[in-house]
Amino acid sequence: MTATENQGTEAVTGVPFNLNGRAVHATDGELLIEACERNGVHIPRFCYHNRMKPVGMCRMCLVEVDTGRGPALQPSCMLPVTPDMQVETESEVTKQAQDGVLEFLLTNHPLDCPVCDKGGECPLQDNAYAFGPGESRFIEEKRHYEKPIPISDLVHLDRERCILCDRCTRFASEVAGDPLIHFIDRGSQTQVNTFPDHPFSSYFSGNTVQICPVGALTAAPYRFKARPWDLEAIESTSTVDATGARVVLQSSQDELVRILGLDSDAVNWSWLSDKDRFIHEANRSENRVTEPLARVDDGLQATRWGDATAKVATALQADASRIAVIGGARLSLESQYAWAKLAKGVIGTDNVDTQLADGLPAALALGLPRATIDEVCAPGGVIVLLGPDPKEELPSLSLRIRHAVIEDGATLIEITPRATSLSDLASVRLRATPGIVGQVLVAIANDQLSADVGGVAASDLQAAATLLRGERPLSVVFGRANLAESARYTADAIGAIRSIAPDASYLPALRRGNVNGALEMGLTPGFLPGGVRNSAEVGVEHWPTTPEFQGADTEGILRAAADGNIDTLILLGADPLGDVPDAVLSASAIENVSTVIAVDSFLTDSSSKADVVLPAAMFGEADGAFLNVEGRLSPLSAKVTSPGLARPDWMIAAEVSLAMGDDLGFGTLDELRQEMSAAVASLADVDWPGLSSADDGPVLRPHRNWDLEFGKPADAPPEPKSGLRLLVDRKLWDAGTMTAESPSLVGLAEPAVLRLSPSDAVGLNLVDASHVTVEQGDESYDLPFVVDESVAPRTAWLPIRLPGFDARKLLSSGGSVNSIQARIADGLTDDDAGDGGEPTAESEDTSDGGRQ
């Protein structure tokens, strides 16, 4: 993308070579196949993929090359251009070689194109028209395999169609780091397969389907759903997580049927997580809210938009300080602005928070100097990971970091409470016990490197200090690593890094969709759009008013609501009952609020308790913009019609405002965008119409570098008198609404497992046990457990919420670090464990935390 533009100018000073008698240039080190492409000559290929290392396997890209020793056939995908190379892509010898390879590939290919999903967009089909003989000379028996075999819940493999290009297998091992598929057997019986009893259960398995040059790999959700020539397509951005992976939405008959990764140089390099790729199933869910609902007696009943908004308007007549808004990360940037204007600029409440008490202070995300993904992953840099496992929360970002460390010489410092998918790549791993991470970095900042801190060895502190204080560019990927400890400790750690490395730049690893847009648009207490701190002196152009008080964050809002101090609570696509770590508090809050208004696409735990539900358009149903983790603006595109009476969120805000008697001042998306550019300084120069055609999208870089006051670091939390400190975090496949509404994804969550250190396994006498009982107050669970050496002693690591399991019942807010009691499960040993005793007390390989 942008690289292509640059290459145009570089080529003049690049490597001269001769292409079919024409003098052209390649860039330094450029592969011949790329250099030819850039100079207008397409060389056919199957195994070559620009985002993976070449293997020279298919031999389709053979061309005649003369480097001074006479012409010879060379695979152009593996040959860097050297000065004055003579290249013949159309000679008789080249053509004969390419024709020959194509004929060979077709000898055993089943030619079942009419019933193949790939038919119509198949590189083999396309090349068969351009190369090789028109009729096959192969009269022997073709090879046969069982057709097709599922190699995971999402991917099917038809080995008869496979041309053994090594793309999927290379992707699995090189890009994803999940080497679960491989070649077996040899000769013409060579085939791709999984290892026995190990399905291809990678978070990234869908990418193999996209890069398969034939129909050998097909995605279970798409099989036989559509033909390529019937598909309509539009470029958009995935809202599954904050990475903002660029995608192509494809629809047939007004239904989203497929999402493909878009090769964005700056963001996701065409790779998607399976969640990005298959989440569109939720759009078609039967459980969509398709019309406004209002509570009548004990139930929700369909009503008209006018009646619904009138009800909402009435509920919003309360005193501004008794009105609160939670959520908004699901919304487009425009909708976020519209709701911010309604809440803060019209109603005048500052009780607005997009984060659900599971994030970090907004000032950290807004005010620290921001790094782009490219800057974080720049060759030779140092990356600090201070947060959760990116593979679980921001999977496509984790692939970029992985590549940077493996291929580009970046160095990773991992400051996480447990092993992550990147641990193997980290040069230094600081594993602080829960609540201690701030102390660890303060010790480095104060040069106290001679003693262990919070379970981190002095030698590791020294190694980290050397890298943190070194000359190489430093970027910090930070997020909330442990939902059972206060966000305060992470903030302390960042404060310490600020003093150790003042020039470091930051990438906030907050996970939820467009959360960065929501923060930028002011859906957080104390801020107005554009990262402007709210005060009596500032206002926003086009806004009638601004809040006259400092509002509360989500935890504060819920506490106020539980205490009866909130009358009306608006849930913008938020499900506090399902997502806020303190489930008891959110239940009490929803109970005690007089009116709950939900703007949502589904009846979640929370929205089903609402008094009014306003149906919102989903991803793929409304145009807008997305602000990703690095502050890059990219388009969200409408491809299908939203069902029933659902409409875009910004329109709902405008309708509600009208019902209250206030015109928000925009009736179309264009008018809304014009106002945003005028009202928000960071959006002043945005070329809105050009957004959808811009390659990677502009990065909003307000060059903020606030002088944040971090205060005195919190003291170490007291060691629990008994029991284990809790480490609670998220898995990609969890009990979230969108996953639950996608039939192909709902079964992918793994059962909950408790992980604990070897010493605790011994201490709790678990050696012969398979299950452990954890309890806090009246709540208790029997869980299988795994011994994990990356978990600190006296710590228990749990996933927060999976189908059938909810660790939040063990949590309470307000404390510093939560803890639980644990004991051997009564009467459960290996022999009588019901589920076959999958997890064992044996020390297992913890290099990747045992996660896939």
Partner 1 sequence: MATNDYIPHAPGFVDNEGPKIVSSRFGHADSFTLERYEQTGGYQAVRSVLAGSTSDAAQLVKDAVLLGRGGAGFPAGVKWGFMPPVWPRYLVVNGDESEPGTYKDRLLMERDPHQLIEGCLIACYALGLNTCFLYVRGEMAEAQERIGTALNDAYDAGYVGRDMFGTDVAIDIVLHWGAGAYIVGEETALIESLEGNRGMPRLKPPFFPAAKGLYMKPTIVNNVETLANLPWLFTNGVDAYKEYGSERSPGTRMLAVSGHVNRPGVYEVEQGVVTFRELFYGDNYCQGIRDGNDLKMFIPGGGSAPWFFEEQLDLPMEAADVGSAGSMLGSGALVVMDETTDAVKACLRIVRFFARESCGKCTPCREGTTWEEQILQRILDGNGRPEDLDLLADIGSQISPGEYPAAAHPEAGLTAVPFPPKQTTICPLGPSSVAPITSAIRRFRHEFEAAIAASPAAPESDPEQRDAVVEVSA
Q: State the minimum distance, in angstroms, from the CB of residue 57 to partner 1.
A: 5
Q: What is the smallest separation between the CB atom of 158 and partner 1, expressed in angstroms?
A: 12
Nearest approach in angstroms of CB 101 to partner 1 is 5
Cβ of residue 96: shortest distance to partner 1, in angstroms? 6
Comparing CB distances to partner 1, the nearer of 169 and 546 is: 169
Q: Shortest approach of partner 1 to residue 195 CB, angstroms?
A: 11
Decide whether 80 or 751 has the Cβ nearer to partner 1.
80
On whether the CB atoms of residues 444 and 461 are closer than 8 A, the answer is yes
Shortest distance, position 852 Cβ to partner 1, whole Å: 21
Pairing state of beta strands 181-184 and 819-824? unpaired
Rounded to an integer, what distance in angstroms lies between the CA atom of residue 268 and that of residue 846?
28
Smallest distance from the beta carbon of 26 to partner 1, in angstroms?
16
**Which residue, 213, 192, 217, is CA-closest to 205?**
217
Tell the residue number behind the tokens 């602005």, with chain if given: 337
Question: CB of 412: closest distance to partner 1 in angstroms?
Answer: 21
DSSP states along 706-741: ------SPPPPPPPPSSSEEEEEE--SSSS-HHHHT
Whose Cβ is closer to partner 1: residue 101's or residue 443's?
Answer: 101
User: 384, 364, 365: which is closest to 492 by C-alpha?
Assistant: 364
Nearest to 213 by CA among 103, 74, 109, 96: 109
**For partner 1, the closer CB: 56 or 556:** 56
Name the token pair of 342: 């309604």
The answer to whether residues 449 and 465 touch, using CB atoms and an 8 Å cutoff, is yes
Closest CA to 259 of 289, 242, 239, 229: 239
Q: Which is nearer to partner 1, 59 or 400 (CB)?
A: 59
- Joined together, the tokens standing for residue 227 give 């033909």
Compute CA distances 207 → 1, 224, 272, 520, whole Å: 20, 18, 7, 32
- Biggest alpha carbon–alpha carbon distance for the chain: 89
Nearest to 127 by CA among 225, 60, 179: 60
Give 72 or 684: the residue with its C-beta nearer to partner 1. Answer: 72
- Strand ranges (E), 376-525: 382-386, 411-415, 428-430, 474-478, 505-508
Query: Which CB, 101 or 360, lies closer to partner 1?
Result: 101
Burial of 199 (0-12, 13-18, 19+ CB in 10 A): middle
Cα–Cα nearest to 21, from 33, 37, 39, 38: 39
Separation CA 718–CA 705 (nearest Å): 34
Shortest spacing between CB 92 and partner 1, in angstroms: 10
Minimum distance from residue 23 beta carbon to partner 1 (Å): 24
What are the CA-CA distances from residue 711 to residues 468, 487, 714 (Å)? Answer: 21, 14, 9
Nearer to partner 1, 146 or 842 (CB): 146
| Interface positions with partner 1 (CB under 8 A) | 55-60, 62, 72-73, 75, 78-80, 93, 96-97, 99-101, 103-105, 107-108, 137-141, 143-147, 163-164, 166, 182-191, 193
| Smallest separation, CB 241 to partner 1 (Å) | 33
Three-class secondary structure of residue 396 per DSSP: helix
Give the CA angle between residues 293, 298, 302 to the nearest 5°: 20
| Least Å from the CB of residue 730 to partner 1 | 34
- Residue 572 · residue 339 · CB < 8 Å: yes
Helix (H) or strand (E) holding 308: helix 305-315
Q: Is 621 exposed, middle or buried (0-12, 13-18, 19+ CB in 10 A)?
A: buried
Q: How far is the CB of 405 from partner 1 (least distance, A)?
A: 17
166 or 760, CB closer to partner 1? 166
Listed residue (640, 805, 818, 653) closest to 727, CA to CA: 818
Angle at alpha carbon of residue 169, lines to 511 and 234, rounded to 5°: 50
- Look at residues 136, 149, 142 and name the one whose alpha carbon lies nearest to residue 216: 149
Q: Closest approach of Cβ 3 to partner 1, in Å?
A: 22
Q: Looking at beta carbons only, is 80 or 793 nearer to partner 1?
A: 80
Do residues 549 and 659 lie in contact, with contact meaning Cβ atoms separated by under 8 Å?
Answer: no
Closer CB to partner 1, residue 137 or residue 721? Answer: 137
Count how many Cα atoms sit within 13 Å of the Cα of residue 207 in the half-sphere of its side chain. Answer: 33
Angstrom distance (rounded) from CA 262 to CA 266: 11
Contact (Cβ atoms closer than 8 angstroms) between residue 337 and residue 354: no
Nearer of residues 21 and 70 to partner 1, judged by Cβ: 70
> Which CB, 89 or 742, lies closer to partner 1?
89
Q: How far is the CB of 380 from partner 1 (least distance, A)?
A: 19
Residue 64 or 485 with smaller CB distance to partner 1:
64
Cβ neighbours of residue 418 under 8 Å, at least 6 residues apart?
431, 727, 755, 788, 790, 791, 797, 849
Nearest residue (CB) to partner 1, 38 versus 143:
143
Q: Which is nearer to partner 1, 145 or 710 (CB)?
A: 145
Instruction: Tell me the closest approach of the beta carbon of residue 203 to partner 1, in angstroms.
Output: 24
CB of 804: closest distance to partner 1 in angstroms?
35
Which residue, 97 or 616, has its beta carbon nearer to partner 1?
A: 97
